[in-house]
Structure 1
Amino acid sequence: MTKKNFKNLETLCVQAGYEPKSGQPRVVPIVQSTTFKYDSTETVANLFDLKEGGFFYTRLGNPTTDALEKKIAALDGGVAAVATSSGQSANLNAVLNITKAGENIVALNNVYGGTFNLLGTTLIKYGIEARFVSCNDFEELERNIDSKTRLILGEVLANPSTQILDIEKYAQIAHSHNIPLIVDNTLTTPVLCKPIDFGADVVTYASTKYLEGHATTIGGLIVDSGNFNWSKGNYPCLTEKDESYHGLVFTEAFGKAAYAARIRTVLLRDFGNAPSPFNAFLTILGIDTLFLRLERHSQNALKIAEFLEKHEKVEFVNYPFLKSSPDYELAKKYLRAGSGVISFGIKGGREEAAKFIDSLELLTLVVHVSDVRSYALHPASSTHRQLSDEELKKAGIPGNLIRLSIGIENADDLISDIDNALRA
């Protein structure tokens, strides 16, 4: 039986993406080279014309990066994947690949703050409008789609609100308008949710987070499901001739992988936001243990969320696998477990929340989320400190909100530290 016959996620995390031949390194080697040797000008010409596959410059492809891309594509059930230099680059390329000035996208208003700024304040300067709508408000979604809309973008698990996207419903609406659904799966990963199984067309990741898992490497990934029919929508960039490749048509040349192929051969070619081979190698090492880590992250987080829900100093708790969560049924439908991110409100306000953070000993204060260590953050004092209490409330981030990123330490030790800080 070959590795291709194994479909279980535990096995794919460890085995997918790289199959060494006899005498080759068992672990994916780091190909730390910018360029590659060939013996024929015809071969190089065919590579540049996209008539042959292969590596000729690491900005467009590298054997180490290729192994990472194949691993995540196997985990998600996609036809192809493209690695980028960061999660921001992944979302940027996912949007720009099929959108141009004069067109618009519809995005959920609870997306990660960096994504919100990218779409709402930066891309608008280049003529691409982002229309933000409330999560799972389908009437508002329909009102914002028109003939110039090219995609819908949301997050499976929102940060820090932990709201769950109703993927299947969003996919149905998107496809009824002949546009794709793009979802950011960073906080759940394919171990907890495979969005393509529920109709998502493109999946993005900040591999910086759970995929790499150790807070050492920035990176991003884009997975192409291969399921969307680009010829049904208005996507001439994929269905008409590209003069920079002598009239090549991506849907004809690459079939189901046309979307991913264009990102690699046009956007990485021109924008240059490719990852380094060493970063790809570290991310592969992280994914090897992804299944085990996500199990522990989720077990710890649920135990801590249940503790917080009963604590006298806590006003509210947001965690999708709490039975009291408004998203509990969606969580059971889409997720295998709840991930490691919790948000909760301390009774009082900004001062009490800030004092809680300052009183922690085991959990540390960092502007990061989703790796093996446990972290705590007070958004009103850090990432959202420019906003007033009223503005924070409108953004769904009250002044007393704390975001916890629960690691893989002993849960009882973490609870003891949280309890002591709350009582301080």
Structure 2
Amino acid sequence: MSREYQFETRLLLSNNRNEYGAVNRAIYQTNAFEYETAEELEKVFAGQAQGYNYTRVGNPSNNEFEEKMKELENGIGALSTASGMAAIAAAVLALVEAGDEIVAGNSLFGGTYSFFKDNLKDWGVKCNFVETTELEQYQQAINPKTKLIYIETVGNPKLDIPNIKKIAEIAHQHGLPLILDNTLMTPYLFQAKEYGVDVVVHSTSKFINGSSNSIGGAVVDTGNFNWAESDNPLLADYLKFGPFAYLARLRQDIFRNLGPCASPFNSYLNNLGVETLALRMEKHCSNALELARFFDSNSAIKGVNYPGLKSNPYHQLAAEQFNNHFGGLLTFEVGSKKEAFKVINELKIAKNLSNLGGLRTLVIHPASTIYHKLSESEKRVLGVTPALIRVSVGIESARDIIEDFSQALEKL
């Protein structure tokens, strides 16, 4: 597909044409694919012929969504997964084994933090956490056992913002790939490849899908990293695939043996949702900025955190990296956990649930939900306090959203 088209147009274009001329794609809700001869199926399994054999490894519906994500991130290939956590696990496990180490910024989504801290440790892989925005700490944490660096575009819920280009430079100085979770900003707001990122992961359940009707994830290889020069032994058998070595390892090993594949129907829903990504992100961002300004002027609020506010310490970097857009997520604090609960309980429009990136405004009390298993010291590192409320700002009328929070705050 031509790179000359603007992003909004590329969202609606497809390389594939339905044989009946249907605008929407077919759903290949099948677990396996029939071949007329044993010889044909043998060639597909051996990689000597193109084709699908089992949905755990590949499916036309999943492939269409993968092509869309590849296109939007300007990558060379992508794989769709059953969830965002499946995407993160697959992306990392393709590059590490017992005895290895990784370096990760500490401003991570709770599930990612727990996976790196606990699960990788159980499998013999050590994660060295560093302060996300401190470049020197990345340099100091890298050692001969390090296999990758992992960061998020924007911390969740800390909302701190790393200098991604400089972290990519550090990674490449040491011959390491940089993996970035771009869920919160999406490729519409942030083009990771241009900033040196090598692998992009998404929880497509969030802004990519938009409607909160399916769980999913994606891993995209941007093509920046020269896998042929990697000394990672896990890629040795796949170097024959050249620039596609990492993707081949993912599909032929991780996907085939661990099974983190997406549901074809969920890929279909994600394909429908992503078509309106540009429109939605513009509204999410503008509404979030208006709400943040309201919180900033409200005496009941003890502190509001949104990069779009000029007083925010990351405002300038965010403006540069995200083309003067600041995302749809913000946080604010009231006086206590009790007051936070009261505000949430008084809201009429905003929904209290464990998700973000949907059409509707969503709120959650992170300390008692997503991060409830972490120690108090870990919560502080991740920016989680007892009085903190996280808001995923929807696309309703900004006036109605503000009035909803205003009437809830008046009850304090």
TM-score range, shorter-chain basis? over 0.9
State the match for 1:244 in structure 2: none
CA–CA distance in structure 1, aligned partners of residues 78 and 23 of structure 2: 23
- 8 Å CA contact retained: 1:98, 1:235: yes
Q: When the two structures are aligned, how many residues end up with a matched partner? A: 410
Which of these residues, 76, 80, 98, is aligned with residue 79 of structure 1?
76
Which of these residues, 3, 6, 9, is aligned with residue 8 of structure 1?
6
Which is worse superposed, 267-276 or 382-391? Answer: 382-391
Q: TM-score, normalised by structure 1?
A: 0.93
Q: Which amino acid aligns with 1:14?
A: L
State the match for 1:122 in structure 2: 119
- 8 Å CA contact retained: 1:392, 1:399: no
CA–CA distance in structure 2, aligned partners of residues 154 and 259 of structure 1: 19
Are residues 1:339 and 2:327 paired? yes
Quick one: structure 1 residues 384 and 22, their matched pair in 2 at CA, closer, same or farther if it must change by over 3 Å? closer
Which of these residues, 260, 274, 286, is aligned with residue 261 of structure 2?
274
- Partner secondary structure for residue 14 of structure 1: coil
Q: Which runs of 5+ in 1 are unaligned?
A: 242-249
Structure 1 residues 209-234: Cα deviation after superposition (integer angstroms, max 9, x where no partner): 11111111011100001221123332
Quick one: structure 1 residues 387 and 227, their matched pair in 2 at CA, closer, same or farther if it must change by over 3 Å? closer
- Partner secondary structure for residue 149 of structure 2: strand
CA–CA distance in structure 2, aligned partners of residues 266 and 272 of structure 1: 9
Q: Which amino acid aligns with 1:373?
A: R
Are residues 1:421 and 2:408 paired? yes
- Partner secondary structure for residue 302 of structure 2: strand
CA–CA distance in structure 2, aligned partners of residues 306 and 279 of structure 1: 36
Are residues 1:300 and 2:300 paired? no
1:395 is displaced (CA, Å) by 3.5
CA–CA distance in structure 2, aligned partners of residues 255 and 39 of structure 1: 32
Which is worse superposed, 58-67 or 254-263? Answer: 254-263
CA–CA distance in structure 1, aligned partners of residues 375 and 227 of structure 2: 44
Which is worse superposed, 321-330 or 411-420? Answer: 321-330
Q: Residues 141-152 of structure 1 correspond to what in structure 2 (within 5 A)?
A: 141-152=138-149
- Partner secondary structure for residue 30 of structure 1: coil
1:267 is displaced (CA, Å) by 0.7
1:39 is displaced (CA, Å) by 2.4
Structure 1 residues 131-158: Cα deviation after superposition (integer angstroms, max 9, x where no partner): 1111111111111100000000010011
1:263 is displaced (CA, Å) by 0.5
Structure 1 residues 100-152: Cα deviation after superposition (integer angstroms, max 9, x where no partner): 10000001111100000011011101101111111111111111100000000
Which of these residues, 363, 367, 382, is aligned with residue 395 of structure 1?
382
Structure 1 residues 254-311: Cα deviation after superposition (integer angstroms, max 9, x where no partner): 2212211211111110011111110100000000111111111111001111111111
Which is worse superposed, 382-391 or 49-58? Answer: 382-391
- 8 Å CA contact retained: 1:110, 1:161: yes
CA–CA distance in structure 2, aligned partners of residues 233 and 341 of structure 1: 36
Supply the RMSD in Å over aligned alpha carbons. 1.5
State the match for 2:220 in structure 1: 223
- 8 Å CA contact retained: 2:18, 2:26: no
Q: Which runs of 5+ in 2 are unaligned?
A: none
Structure 1 residues 310-369: Cα deviation after superposition (integer angstroms, max 9, x where no partner): 1111122111121111111111121131111001111x2212111111111111111111
Are residues 1:109 and 2:97 paired? no
- Partner secondary structure for residue 59 of structure 1: coil
1:46 is displaced (CA, Å) by 1.8
State the match for 2:302 in structure 1: 315
CA–CA distance in structure 1, aligned partners of residues 193 and 179 of structure 2: 10
